[in-house]
Amino acid sequence: TIEKGSFPKDFLWGSASAAYQIEGAWDEDGKSPSVWDKFVRIPGKTFKGTTGDVAVDHYHRYKEDIALMAEMGMKTYRFSIAWTRIYPNSMDEVNQKGLDFYQDIIDVCLENGIQPMITLYHWDLPQYLQDAYRGWESRQIIEDFEKYAVTLFKEYGNKVKYWITMNEQNIFTRLGWQSAQHPPGLSDEDKLHYQVNHHAFLAHAKAVEKFHEIVADGMVGASFAFHPSYALDTKPKNVLAKHDFDDLKNYWWMDVYAYGRYPRAAMKYLESKNIAPKIQEGDFELLKSASEKVDFMGVNYYRSDVVEHNPEDGVDNSGIVNVSGKKGTSTETGMAGIYKSPLNPHLPTTDWDWTIDPMGLRIGCREITSRYDLPIIISENGLGAFDKLEEDKSVHDPYRIKYIQEHLKQIKMAIDEGSDIIAYCTWSFTDLLSWLNGYQKRYGFVYVDQSEYESNPSLNRYKKDSYYWYKNIIETDGEAI
């Protein structure tokens, strides 16, 4: 039983990262290039052409990073595994050095009382799979992903309890096939986008099917970039637009993970536009069966959306991401004839024009609880900002403390209101590479001296004010928020 107003004693206080964004060592110890290693080399794709070749050098400094986590008292560390370290050249030959690297991370975490939480796929597909059959565009990926997943479950399943199959399938597919901001860099490929998603669902489902056979005492689910939404006003057409937005932008993913089916109205809409995915016999049986074995809903939460009706000749860019970092430059997004998303005039925004809405997270958790009744892992939440390293190597980030504090207050209320939230992972622990925004957009509790403006930064780590603040929150089981 939980005392009202308290976090559960076994609450998993954590932070999250992704391999490409922290590891570096992009061609070391047998690792082969991923689609990201190639994509960042296309001129104009990332801020100042920044790559993750070195990233924050976690590959060589993971012991130092995990020691900082331990000193903070962190209970869980979510990280992703680079497929390109495990099966670098073909799906027939596993790379022992890759396996050993993550084995050691897991061991060092456990020695320090930190539960590892593994993401199987955080967007860094092996380039050779892209070259061989265009990666997610082919059904071949389903079998290969399953094999990769099973290898990891067998290797680490006796030590690791928490597993996330996919990170933000909704984002990597939209940015990869609709707005050309991620590999493979295609735009307006709406039909292919839904087909790719269907394959990713099936790959996730295959992995989930195998999971409980191999990992006796574990939990598995997918993490999704959830955008809780508000109708602009009470005009029925705006309320309908909100329903369409939810079906097409949220439930399209969460319903498949939790129920094994697509939302009906959204499917009808895609069929009417001739962009619905091709579904084979047996697909729905697999999705349904896997949905019954999913243990939690993983939620990455950064912002909510306002939804307004959008005329047929209205804005049509399906949600590109603002990468400039200059306030007031973000483009309105939407789908012609369906919805558009104006900024919320009642809420502040980050330097990247992302709405800051702590209560939106509580609303989202409540929605998941009433719609799916699954435990929730908040697998990402955090503030990307310009931080300043002072002469004395301190970093004063009261804005980040406030952001996390306000979100935690709402999480606590959602728990009181019945949501079964078992973990909270901030994005991120150390600063890291923000895919499209270089190193200038910082998220960490730990400042890393890495920058696109200098040629040889030291990569030294410095604790920010938020580091000490979160340490105290964990020590007091959340009482100090």
Q: Which residues would be at the binding site for ligand BG6 (CB under 6 A)?
A: 18, 21, 167-168, 171, 225, 300, 380, 384, 427, 434-437, 441
Residue with smaller CB distance to ligand BG6, 309 or 441: 441
Closest separation in Å from C-beta 470 to ligand BG6: 18
Shortest CB 217 distance to ligand BG6, Å: 27
Max CA separation in the chain (angstroms): 64
Choosing from 380, 406, 475, 479, the catalytic residue is 380
Nearer to ligand BG6, 310 or 381 (CB): 381
Query: Of the two residues 334 and 438, which places its CB atom closer to ligand BG6 in the complex?
Result: 438
Smallest separation (angstroms) from ligand BG6 to the CB of 434: 3
CB closer to ligand BG6, 355 vs 437:
437
Give whichever of 374 and 385 is closer to ligand BG6, judged by the CB atom: 385
Q: Least distance to ligand BG6 from the beta carbon of 168, Å?
A: 5
Q: 223 has which bridge partners?
A: 167, 298
Long-range own/partner contacts, residues 474-479 (CB < 8 A, 24 or more apart): 474/13, 474/72, 474/73, 474/74, 474/75, 475/73, 477/6, 477/7, 477/9, 477/11, 478/6, 478/7, 478/11, 478/13, 478/408, 478/412, 479/6
Q: How far is the CB of 429 from ligand BG6 (least distance, A)?
A: 12
Nearest to ligand BG6 of 225, 307 (CB atom): 225
Closest-CB residue for ligand BG6?
434
Work out how close the CB of 300 gets to ligand BG6 at its nearest, in angstroms, rounded to a whole number. 5
Whether 155 is catalytic:
no
- Known catalytic residues are 380
